């Protein structure tokens, strides 16, 4: 409310100054002088317009990014104030959760239920938000989640190309000192995968590339391409296996046996991330199969209806496997406090999907960086207010 008022005030001021200039010229000019003054007026007005409208001179504002994102993404995404899975329930393909949308809603609800203990009797004034991931220093433990399907999920045909989208995601993350995941959309042909790898190369491999749980041959073929692009690591979103029974020709996805996962891990020196772990048993099996990291995730509630929220299962999984593998978690992460909560529940770092997707669509790289930097400043504040000095040492006691 107050933010909007501030914006309106500024705009009003801008317009009234322009009117002021115009009024002076009208009031003091004679017939001949009018022409000269009109010229001056135009000049002033141009200057004024330049000052008001020149985007490069203006700091990008979150509300403008969200407004543009809404214009471009509607009706696939309404860009609701809180992304809770209600308005878009059942919209897959699209931006929602599958079926009743309950799994998506559960991610939001589970995270919302976690409350923080405020602690201010300490000397934590400076905090460390950085982590190192396979030799790469990140300014905060937040990465962009893989989000594919610019046309069939996001409805961006004619508005934003795959090229522009992945550039915004990966480039925006780098601007904010972190890295992003590139997706492998289920309906995307290999050419789209190649477009994403081009962006990975452009950013000197500072990215993680995801592969759908395709046939073994198709996965290994893509791993070789990822190696050539120089990516930091690769992931398989194993939870996309649900379409095994109705796969399109050339787009086969399948559940994987531990033996198949081992074969994939052994085929490369790249760190292997298994995305889509929701049980202790599969977290342990992933580690046995050679996973360097797991992503505790239900794919944003997009693959199986009625799964619990990630924040609900994460602590049980972390209690068993923390320290044995890197634990990422995702699901409804938007605020710095969401990041801190997931870290307290046992994650080493988090992924943010829909929120950064909106940043990319509404503000390109700058939009993504803006969202991440806002999360970072919220994270810093919440660390001070919970007495947390380092993101690598978040105590579960900060949770109520
Ligand atoms: C439009 C859209 C497309 C997605 N595409 C992929 C994908 O291709 N591969 C993947 O592993 N996850 C994909 N995901 C899931 C995200 O990576 C992430 O797990 C999920 O969205 C949870 O994060 P969020 O709640 O912050 O969006 C997609 C999610 C959305 C919303």
Residues 33 and 114 in one domain: no
Residues 207 and 314 in one domain: yes
Residues 7 and 114 in one domain: no
pLDDT per residue over 88-142, tens digit each? 999 999 999 999 999 999 999 999 999 999 999 999 999 999 999 999 999 999 9
pLDDT per residue over 58-95, tens digit each? 789 999 999 999 999 999 999 999 999 999 999 999 99
Q: Please give the pLDDT value at position 186.
A: 78
- Does the Cβ of 85 fall within 6 Å of ligand 1? no
- Does the Cβ of 151 fall within 6 Å of ligand 1? no
Measured distance CA(246)–CA(37) in Å, rounded: 72
Answer yes or no: is 205 within a domain. yes
Q: How far is the CA of 145 from the centre of ligand 1 (A)?
A: 6
CATH number at residue 341: 3.20.20.70
Mean pLDDT on 218-245: 93
List the residue whose alpha carbon is closest to atom 4 of ligand 1: 147
List the residue whose alpha carbon is closest to atom 19 of ligand 1: 299
Answer yes or no: is 68 within a domain. no
pLDDT at 53 over 60: no
Mutational test site, ligand 1, from 76, 148, 313, 355, max ligand atoms within 8 Å of CB = 148
Answer yes or no: is 370 within a domain. yes
In our burial notation (b when 16+ CB lie closer than 10 A, e otherwise), range 352-368 reads bbbbbbbbbbbbbbbbb
Residues 274 and 329 in one domain: yes
Residues 142 and 53 in one domain: no
Answer yes or no: is 233 within a domain. yes
pLDDT per residue over 33-48, tens digit each? 333 333 434 434 343 3
Q: How far is the CA of 212 from the centre of ligand 1 (A)?
A: 12
Answer yes or no: is 277 within a domain. yes
Residues 171 and 226 in one domain: yes
pLDDT per residue over 139-175, tens digit each? 999 999 999 999 999 999 999 999 999 999 999 999 9
Answer yes or no: is 95 within a domain. no
Q: Regarding predicted confidence, which is higher, 57 or 87?
A: 87
Q: Regarding predicted confidence, which is higher, 399 or 188?
A: 399
Across the chain, mean pLDDT equals 88
pLDDT at 206 over 50: yes
pLDDT at 245 over 70: no
Residues 18 and 155 in one domain: no
What is the CB neighbour count within 10 angstroms for residue 391?
Answer: 23
pLDDT per residue over 250-285, tens digit each? 778 999 999 999 999 999 999 999 999 999 999 999
Measured distance CA(362)–CA(167) in Å, rounded: 13
Mean pLDDT on 369-386: 98
Q: Please give the pLDDT value at position 19.
A: 39
Domain count, the chain: 2
183's CB contacts (< 8 A; 6+ apart) are 146, 147, 148, 149, 196, 210
Residues 136 and 262 in one domain: yes
For 275, list phi and psi in degrees, rounded to 5: -105, 130
Residues 192 and 274 in one domain: yes
Residues 301 and 388 in one domain: yes
Q: How far is the CA of 269 from the centre of ligand 1 (A)?
A: 26
| Residue that terminates a domain, selected from 20, 38, 57 | 57
In the chain, what percentage of residues exceed pLDDT 90?
80
101's CB contacts (< 8 A; 6+ apart) are 85, 86, 88, 89, 90, 91, 301, 305
Q: Regarding predicted confidence, which is higher, 359 or 3?
A: 359
Q: Please give the pLDDT value at position 123.
A: 97
Answer yes or no: is 88 within a domain. no
Q: pTM for this structure? A: 0.86
Q: Determine contact, residues 239/201, Cβ cutoff 8 Å.
A: no
Residue 8's domain spans which residues?
Answer: 2-57
- Exposed/middle/buried for 227, CB within 10 Å: 0-12, 13-18, 19+? middle
Q: Please give the pLDDT value at position 56.
A: 60
pLDDT at 204 over 70: yes
- In this structure, of 9-13, 300-304, 373-377, 388-392, the range with the lowest mean pLDDT score is 9-13
pLDDT at 385 over 90: yes
Residues 231 and 349 in one domain: yes
Residues 38 and 115 in one domain: no
Answer yes or no: is 181 within a domain. yes
């Amino acid at each position: 409310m107050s933010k909007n008022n501030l914006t309106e005030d500024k705009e009003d001021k801008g317009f009234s100054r322009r009117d002021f200039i115009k009024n002076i010229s009208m009031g003091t000019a004679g017939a001949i002088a009018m022409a000269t003054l009109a010229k001056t007026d135009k000049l002033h007005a141009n200057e004024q317009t330049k000052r008001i409208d020149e985007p490069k001179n203006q700091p990008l504002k979150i509300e403008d990014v969200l407004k543009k994102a809404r214009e471009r993404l509607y009706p696939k995404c309404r860009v609701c104030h809180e992304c809770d899975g209600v308005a878009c329930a059942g919209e897959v393909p699209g931006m929602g959760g599958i079926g009743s949308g309950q799994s998506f809603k559960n991610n939001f609800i589970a995270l919302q239920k976690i409350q923080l203990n405020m602690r201010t009797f300490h000397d934590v004034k400076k905090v460390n938000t950085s982590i190192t991931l396979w030799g790469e220093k990140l300014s905060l433990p937040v990465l962009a989640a893989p989000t594919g399907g610019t046309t069939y999920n996001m409805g961006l045909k004619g508005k934003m190309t795959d090229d522009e989208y992945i550039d915004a995601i990966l480039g925006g993350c780098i601007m904010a000192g972190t890295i992003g995941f590139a997706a492998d959309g289920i309906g995307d042909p290999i050419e789209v995968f190649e477009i994403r790898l081009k962006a990975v190369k452009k950013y000197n491999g500072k990215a993680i590339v995801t592969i759908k749980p395709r046939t073994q041959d198709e996965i290994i073929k893509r791993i070789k391409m990822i190696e050539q692009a120089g990516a930091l690591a690769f992931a398989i979103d194993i939870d996309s296996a649900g379409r095994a029974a109705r796969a399109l020709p050339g787009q086969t996805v399948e559940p994987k046996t531990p033996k198949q996962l081992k074969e994939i891990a052994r085929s490369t020196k790249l760190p292997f991330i298994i995305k889509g772990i929701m049980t202790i048993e599969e977290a342990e099996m992933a580690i046995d199969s050679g996973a360097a990291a797991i992503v505790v995730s239900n794919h944003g509630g997009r693959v199986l209806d009625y799964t619990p929220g990630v924040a609900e299962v994460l602590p049980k999984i972390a209690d068993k496997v923390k320290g044995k593998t890197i634990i990422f978690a995702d699901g409804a992460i938007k605020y710095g406090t969401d990041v801190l909560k997931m870290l307290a529940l046992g994650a080493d770092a988090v992924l943010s999907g829909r929120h950064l997707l909106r940043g990319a669509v509404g503000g390109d790289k700058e939009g993504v960086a803006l969202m991440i930097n806002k999360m970072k400043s919220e994270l810093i504040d919440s660390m001070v207010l919970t007495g947390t000095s380092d993101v690598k040492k978040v105590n579960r006691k900060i949770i109520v």
